[in-house]
Amino acid sequence: MMYGFTYDTSSRLAYALSILPILGIGLIVTLEAAVAGFVFALVLGLAWSLLRRSRIRAVSWGAACIVEFIRDTPLLIQLFFLYYVLPDYGVILPAFLTGVLALGLQYSAYTSEVYRGGFDAVPREQWEAATALNLSRFRIYRDIVIPQTIPRIAPAMGNYAVSMLKETPVLSVVTVLDMLNLANMIGDRTFEYLVPLSLVGLIFPIMTTLCSVGIHALERILPKAGVALR
Amino acid sequence: MNPPLIRFTDVNKRFGPLTVLDRFNFAVQPGEKVTLIGPSGSGKSTVLRILMTLEPFQEGTLTLGDLSYHEPNGRGPFMASDKHLRDLRKNVGMVFQSFNLFPHMSVLRNIVEAPIAVLDMRRDAAEARALELLRLVGLLDKRDQFPSQLSGGQQQRVAIARAMAMRPRVLLFDEPTSALDPQLVGEVLGVIRTLAHEHDLTMLLVTHEMRFAREISDRVCFFAAGRIVEQGTPERIFSSPEQPRTQEFLKSVLTGQG
């Protein structure tokens, strides 16, 4: 029994149906981790890309080095580091939060590159026109540049969202009770892994397909000229 | 004579090994309408871009009213702080060859954006002023359109209204009609002509429209190789140019324009 649901191992179909509600609870955790991680990656990636564009040499170099380092280390090591090493220094984070931070951190390195490409694609003349109107750098980014990058970066960001969704099962290694972890635990108790793991394996492509369809729809409705943020 | 509003003194501007302005001296009186003519690469547009703080320069001094383009105690040419640059830009507006409207904003939003953000105008006041300017440029009915829905001439008229909304003392026109189809040039020149009647507005115009320059300018400056080779009233420059280079240039452009 798990979360109040009992396993029915009389047949494979009955087994599958009986554990679906349990996996559903894990699915919610998986989706929460993916959404929270991706929002964090979008925000942190934007911060990296802005720091890299800083006119202060030390700041832009520092940000570039950090981004490169994050990108070049495996997600699993970052996850272990946050979960097992940080507590030695008094920073104890819950498993779920650790997972979200690790996913977000890793993907912020990717999204910062997407932002960078998006910023570079905004014509220099747009900067000049905004400067001639005496807008501050903050206003230029928020009201002129970022709105014009949104339709350009949406496809690449969508790919990373799907890709991050697929990577959420690594959180199970730091005890997050996501879908994969629950499937494993069900297997541990019933000594029957085929059905729970197959179900998880099927649910992922369904989710990523839905996600891709949503992203394509979003790309179609985004005005090509840009999205005014206010 | 009043003290000049704009004064370039021995300004040198280089792009790498290329000298664009060569010990350049130039002064403009408040309210003066000056046209800069000359072959491409002679430094006309660079003068405007330096005034708009879009380009640094290497040596010399430039002042606009009481403000220097070098901040007092600044670290060398053009190393002024953002705040100082923004104080300078308050006085200057610019109209670009390629219009450069913000494509994701309606016509009205293009015009009110900066007055609200920079001049702290209330939205209703900014919009009232924007509608007044749209009436002036004859595009009141386009207020809710987006730039991509307008012709080049209409876009440039909106760009002029956008620049005027910031109430600049100096308005710079960098080849405002060069990117336009011939049949659209007239409507843009018409708007510039209207502005030329504004007594207080100082205008610097880079153009190849010689007849228009003759009509609206107080003074015409002929540029060659990073300097002003010859300047004077339009009548004098166009009717009896003294320098051989001016004569040659005018002959080449005027044969094209009939």
Average pLDDT, whole number, for chain B? 93
Evaluate whether residue A157 is within a structural domain: yes
Residue B255 has pLDDT above 90, yes or no: no
Residue B74 has pLDDT above 60, yes or no: no
Distance in Å, alpha carbon of B227 to nearest chain A alpha carbon = 25
- Provide the whole-model pTM: 0.89
Evaluate whether residue A43 is within a structural domain: yes
Chain B partners within 8 Å of A132 (Cβ): 52, 54, 89, 92-94, 96, 163
Chain B partners within 8 Å of A128 (Cβ): 52, 54, 96, 100
B147/A225 Cβ within 8 A: yes
| B137 within 8 A of B158, measured Cβ to Cβ | yes
Q: What is the CATH number of the domain that holds A57?
A: 1.10.3720.10
Chain B partners within 8 Å of A225 (Cβ): 103-104, 146-148
Evaluate whether residue A4 is within a structural domain: no
pLDDT digit string, tens, across residues A34-69: 999 999 999 999 999 999 999 899 999 999 999 999
Among chain B, residues having any CB pair with chain A shorter than 8 Å are: 52-54, 82, 86, 89-90, 92-94, 96, 98, 100-105, 109, 113-114, 117-118, 146-148, 159, 162-163, 166
Question: What is residue B103's DSSP assignment?
Answer: T
Contacting residues for B34 by C-beta, under 8 A, at least 6 apart? B28, B203, B204, B205, B217, B218, B219, B220, B221
Q: What is the CATH number of the domain that holds B58?
A: 3.40.50.300
For residue A214, the enclosing domain spans 12-221
Q: Place B78 in a pLDDT band, splitting at 50, 70 and 90.
A: low
B93/A228 Cβ within 8 A: no
A147/B89 Cβ within 8 A: no
pLDDT value at residue A137: 93
| B97 within 8 A of B175, measured Cβ to Cβ | yes
Residue B206 has pLDDT above 60, yes or no: yes
Evaluate whether residue B237 is within a structural domain: yes
Evaluate whether residue A50 is within a structural domain: yes
Chain B partners within 8 Å of A134 (Cβ): 86, 89-90, 114, 118, 166
B239 burial type by CB count under 10 A (0-12 exposed, 13-18 middle, 19+ buried): exposed
Evaluate whether residue B113 is within a structural domain: yes
Evaluate whether residue A95 is within a structural domain: yes
Residue B79 has pLDDT above 70, yes or no: no
For residue B60, the enclosing domain spans 6-17+33-257
Residue A129, token pair as written in the block: 């026109």
pLDDT value at residue B256: 63
Chain B partners within 8 Å of A152 (Cβ): none
Evaluate whether residue B25 is within a structural domain: no
Q: Give the strands of the sheet with B59-64, arranged side by side.
A: B18-28, B6-15, B59-64, B67-68
Residue B258 has pLDDT above 70, yes or no: no
Q: What percent of chain B has pLDDT over 90?
A: 86
Evaluate whether residue B124 is within a structural domain: yes
Q: How far apart are CA A67 and CA A105, in angstroms?
A: 9
pLDDT value at residue A84: 93
Evaluate whether residue B104 is within a structural domain: yes
Evaluate whether residue B51 is within a structural domain: yes
Contacting residues for A147 by C-beta, under 8 A, at least 6 apart? A226, A227, A228, A229, B104
Indicate the number of domains in chain A.
1
B54/A128 Cβ within 8 A: yes
Evaluate whether residue B22 is within a structural domain: no
DSSP A139-162: HIIIIIIHHHHHHHHHHHHHHHHH
Distance in Å, alpha carbon of B159 to nearest chain A alpha carbon = 9
Evaluate whether residue A1 is within a structural domain: no
Distance in Å, alpha carbon of A129 to nearest chain B alpha carbon = 6
| B195 within 8 A of B27, measured Cβ to Cβ | no
Indicate if the alpha-carbon torsion angle B151, B211, B55, B226 is positive or negative: positive
Chain A partners within 8 Å of B94 (Cβ): 132
Evaluate whether residue B108 is within a structural domain: yes
* Of B67-76, B132-141, B184-193, minimum mean pLDDT range: B67-76
Residue B86, token pair as written in the block: 């923004």
Distance in Å, alpha carbon of A157 to nearest chain B alpha carbon = 20
Distances (CA, A) of B134 to A194, B112, B127: 70, 11, 10
Distance of CA B63 to the CA centre of its chain: 16
Contacting residues for B41 by C-beta, under 8 A, at least 6 apart? B20
* Sites in chain A below the pLDDT cut of 50: none
Q: What b/e readout covers A83-117, taking b as 16+ CB neighbours within 10 angstroms?
A: beeeeeeeeebebbebbbbbbbbbbbbbbbbbbbe
Nearest to B194 by CA among B241, B122, B132: B132
Evaluate whether residue A57 is within a structural domain: yes
pLDDT digit string, tens, across residues B142-166: 999 999 999 999 999 999 999 999 9
Residue B139 has pLDDT above 50, yes or no: yes
Q: Please tell me whether residue B11 adopts helix, strand or coil conformation.
A: strand
pLDDT value at residue B77: 52
CA diameter of chain B: 55
| Average pLDDT of the segment spanning B216-243 | 95
pLDDT value at residue B76: 53
Evaluate whether residue A76 is within a structural domain: yes
Q: How far apart are CA B188 and CA B201, in angstroms?
A: 18
Indicate the number of domains in chain B.
1
Q: How far apart are CA B193 and CA A228, in angstroms?
A: 33
